[in-house]
Amino acid sequence: MSALPAILPHPVTTTPRGRALEALIGHTPLLAFRQLTAHLPHDVAIYAKAEWTNPGGSVKDRAAASIIRQAERSGDLRAGRTLLDSTSGNTGIAYAMLGAARGYPVRLFVPANVSPQRIAILRAYGAELTLTDPLEGSDGALRAVRQLAAAEPERYFYANQYNNPANWQAHYLTTGVEIWEQTGGQVTHFVAGLGTSGTLMGTGRRLKEYRPSIQIVALQPDSPFHGLEGLKHMQTAIQPGIYDGLFPDWQLAITTEAAHEMARRLAREEGYLVGISAAAAMAGSLQLAEELAGRGEPGVVVTLFPDSAAKYLHEPFWAE
């Protein structure tokens, strides 16, 4: 094998630290379905954004990049400060990935019962983890991180994803635009699960600006005690400051069992191996599409698959 020339024929372009990785975020594919929607009439369709194609493997790359960019512009995040937040996993992975690329230490408060794959990924990126009471879920991690942020404000940049407008603005600037363009402006309904609510609020606001008649559908677990990791039962949880409960046109409640069944069906009937919240989103979207069909109404229902099944394959429901 010959050695590389001492001088390359074209100069290698460089970008500021972390920007090349950030450029890979967004512009995710829009998936169609063959088997699961075969019973629907031709004028009712479902599509889903494959957010696992982001470099960190989830939709949360969008919000984390937006939060970091805004904090750098304001000077809240700078050399010598540690990025701090609570997370159920995916946002933390995005913080840890981007923090490593840009040179910021990252400390995260995480419920101890999140999937072991998420913990392993966070540690692989070098994030410092504090595991909180699993019985308190994401709210327990949120209460704990608030205490530390208040105690040491000069040491940490508290990203505060549940209350940071840069979260929903990421989706206003990217996700909503992509859905509108990818459907040729034909989208009639947008379905998103509620966690921080950034995806629903940002995407929904942008789509409403394109056409006010587009229906925004919020999806959440049917009870406080559920297995839909990353989603909140808003009636009993600490509500994110960025969430406006009057904004969605529709609310859908999904059981853990329905999400598990849909995850298996997506894998075995469509070849899409998706995460639990993605399966919940599909279950809700299919329910909505069937209601439209039953009323004889046309519709283009678009949802979002936050991540793949890679972090959930230890769950026993896959073998059922």
The verdict on whether 60 is a catalytic residue reads yes
For residue 276, count other CB atoms closer than 10 A to its CB. Answer: 27
User: Dihedrals φ, ψ of 276, to 5°?
Assistant: -70, -40
**How far is 94 from 54, CA to CA, in rounded Å?**
10
CA angle 59, 282, 179 (to 5 degrees): 50
Identified catalytic residue from 277, 285, 308, 311: 277
| Side-chain half-sphere exposure of 252, counting CA atoms within 13 A | 27
DSSP for 10-69, written as a single string = SPPP--STTHHHHTTSS---EE--SSTTTTS-TTEEEEEEEGGGSTTSBTHHHHHHHHHH
DSSP code at position 225: S
- Which three-class secondary structure state does DSSP give residue 309? helix
| Side-chain half-sphere exposure of 41, counting CA atoms within 13 A | 12
Identified catalytic residue from 49, 60, 232, 311: 60
User: Dihedrals φ, ψ of 183, to 5°?
Assistant: -95, 5
- Which three-class secondary structure state does DSSP give residue 221? strand
Which residues contact residue 304 at a Cβ distance below 8 angstroms, ignoring those fewer than 6 apart?
Answer: 48, 49, 51, 59, 175, 191, 192, 199, 203, 278, 281
Question: Which are the catalytic amino acids?
Answer: 60, 277
